Amino acid sequence: MAAHAIQFTLPDLLTNFPWPRKLSEYYHQAKAESSAWTESYHPFDEEGLKGFNLCDFNLLASLAYAPREKELIRLGCDLMNIFYVFDEYTDIADGNEANKIRDIIMDGFQNSHKERPEGELLVGAMARDFWIRASGFVAPGANCLQHFIHDFDTYTAAVVREADDRTKRRYRGFEDYLSIRLDSSGCLPSFALCEFGLDLPEEAYSHPRMAALRKLGTYLIAIGNDIDSYAMEKARGLELHNSVELVMLEQNLDIQGAINWLERYAAGVHAEFLDNVAKMPSWGKDADRRVKLYIDGIAQWVRGNDDWTFESGRYFGSKGLEIQKTRLMSLLPSSKGFVKKPPAVSERSGNSSISTYKPSSYRYERAFKHTPLIIFCVLASLTSLLLYPTTYLFKF
């Protein structure tokens, strides 16, 4: 049986999750604006652009931030598109290349007052423009700005570790993997945007139960995403950073057995999430109202991400709604992402270390650099063949 003929069942991890599906009334307008903004940076070729539009990350933002105002929906769309461009470029990079991409995007956030260097990889300019607008949405010095930068920095660092693991084919146990996934999923900076405009008391934001909600919400999203994306990631050779594959290896299970194991694990996370919501302390009537909006924002992210998984073409193409009903999925033939080549690392020192692809002349230069050694090895082999012919005659 061909590998892609293997079929398995996807569980519904949110059957009893009390936050229903919502879609922002600003979805279509925000999508048009954010898509035009993203495409203006030319992140993909024509084929890649079709795949990007199929994923519809604007839908994800409009589901996840559904109750919020128009300006935040647009920011959410832009943030999701930044995530996607960054992920697509780092998915095909090694740890060193990914770290240089990380330096560029973080510099775009942290130094948005500066123009980006000419020829720099586009993520720096995207981050800068996004941050100028996001910072203008709240009061100067608002705590949410610091929270976002911290969480995005942590996210990019985790993506670099993921790229290094992938390059070295490094295996991690499930718990170790989950601790990295807490950061590499991008959930924490996504939750941070929920805080914009709410002016949360810092004691509420940093309370252990609130921190637990962010962690547990991330786990629910990450586990659900790993299960739903497993077929695609397996096809693209990214399965060692997917909990389904790791549980299969660690627990000696087949695909369905690992998915069932993760379903039981997620049920415990789900119960703990609801328990923390119920036991959240009070900070006064006005603060509690804003805290509830923030908690609802995290929960809506959990629900919205699950809805988007099936309503977009990201993982299931045109079959998402059908698979949502039947819950049946099969492995897929090998495929690639939407970036065909990794951005090449510039030889320049200092910041802005990634610009354009290496030209063919660079590859020839590297090949000719080792020509003397190659000639020496060939001559040595011919000499040995003439002096000791029987050694090679009977060597298989």
Q: Please indicate whether residue 240 or residue 321 has the higher confidence score (pLDDT).
A: 321
Q: Is residue 387 scored above 60 in pLDDT?
A: no
Q: Is residue 126 scored above 90 in pLDDT?
A: yes
What lies within 8 Å, CB to CB, of 59 at 6+ separation is 27, 31, 308, 311, 312
Nearest to 314 by CA among 158, 120, 83: 83
Q: Is residue 1 scored above 60 in pLDDT?
A: no
Q: Is residue 383 scored above 70 in pLDDT?
A: no
Residues 201/251, Cβ–Cβ less than 8 Å: no
State the pLDDT at residue 335: 85
Token reading at 120: 């720099």
Q: Is residue 378 scored above 50 in pLDDT?
A: no
Q: Does domain 3-330 have CATH number 1.10.10.60?
A: no
Q: Is residue 269 scored above 50 in pLDDT?
A: yes
Which of 117-121, 162-166, 364-368 shows the lowest mean pLDDT across its residues?
Answer: 364-368
Place of tokens 């690639």: 336
CA atoms within 13 A on the CB side of 389: 1
State the pLDDT at residue 336: 76
How far apart, in whole angstroms, are the C-alpha atoms of residue 101 and residue 97? Answer: 6
Three-point CA angle 70, 72, 76, nearest 5°: 115
Mean pLDDT of the residues in the chain: 88
Residues 104, 239, 332, 54: is their CA dihedral positive or negative? Answer: negative
- Model confidence band, residue 240 (pLDDT cutoffs 50, 70, 90): confident
Q: What is the DSSP string of 253-313?
A: --HHHHHHHHHHHHHHHHHHHHHHHHTPPP--HHHHHHHHHHHHHHHHHHHHHHHHHHHSS
Phi, psi (deg, nearest 5) at residue 147: -60, -45
- Model confidence band, residue 369 (pLDDT cutoffs 50, 70, 90): very low
Residues 279-295: what's their mean pLDDT?
98
State the pLDDT at residue 80: 99
The H or E element spanning position 188 is helix 187-195
- Model confidence band, residue 108 (pLDDT cutoffs 50, 70, 90): very high
Q: Is residue 48 scored above 60 in pLDDT?
A: yes
CB count within 10 Å of CB 122 equals 19
Three-point CA angle 327, 331, 336, nearest 5°: 120
Q: Is residue 347 scored above 70 in pLDDT?
A: no
How far apart, in whole angstroms, are the C-alpha atoms of residue 81 and residue 31? Answer: 10
Which of 212-226, 229-243, 357-371 shows the lowest mean pLDDT across its residues?
Answer: 357-371
What DSSP designation does 345 have? B
How buried is 256 (Cβ within 10 angstroms: 0-12 exposed, 13-18 middle, 19+ buried)?
A: middle
Residues 233, 238, 242, 248: is their CA dihedral positive or negative? Answer: positive
State the pLDDT at residue 228: 98
How far apart, in whole angstroms, are the C-alpha atoms of residue 232 and residue 330? Answer: 10
Using a pLDDT cut of 70, give the percent of the chain over it: 84
State the pLDDT at residue 5: 73
Q: Is residue 386 scored above 50 in pLDDT?
A: no
Q: Is residue 231 scored above 80 in pLDDT?
A: yes
Q: Is residue 375 scored above 50 in pLDDT?
A: no
- Model confidence band, residue 103 (pLDDT cutoffs 50, 70, 90): very high
pLDDT in tens, 58-99: 999 999 999 999 999 999 999 999 999 999 999 899 999 999
pLDDT in tens, 297-346: 999 999 999 999 999 999 999 999 999 999 999 999 998 766 655 565 44
Residues 285-292: what's their mean pLDDT?
98
- Model confidence band, residue 382 (pLDDT cutoffs 50, 70, 90): very low
How buried is 71 (Cβ within 10 angstroms: 0-12 exposed, 13-18 middle, 19+ buried)?
A: middle
pLDDT in tens, 184-213: 999 999 999 999 999 999 999 999 999 999
pTM of the model: 0.85
Q: What is the DSSP string of 20-56?
A: PP---TTHHHHHHHHHHHHHTT--S-HHHHHHHHHH-
Q: Can you give the residue ranges of every domain in the chain?
A: 3-330, 363-393
Q: What is the DSSP string of 61-83?
A: HHHHTTTS-HHHHHHHHHHHHHH
How far apart, in whole angstroms, are the C-alpha atoms of residue 10 and residue 212? Answer: 26
Q: Is residue 396 scored above 50 in pLDDT?
A: no
pLDDT in tens, 153-168: 999 999 999 999 989 9
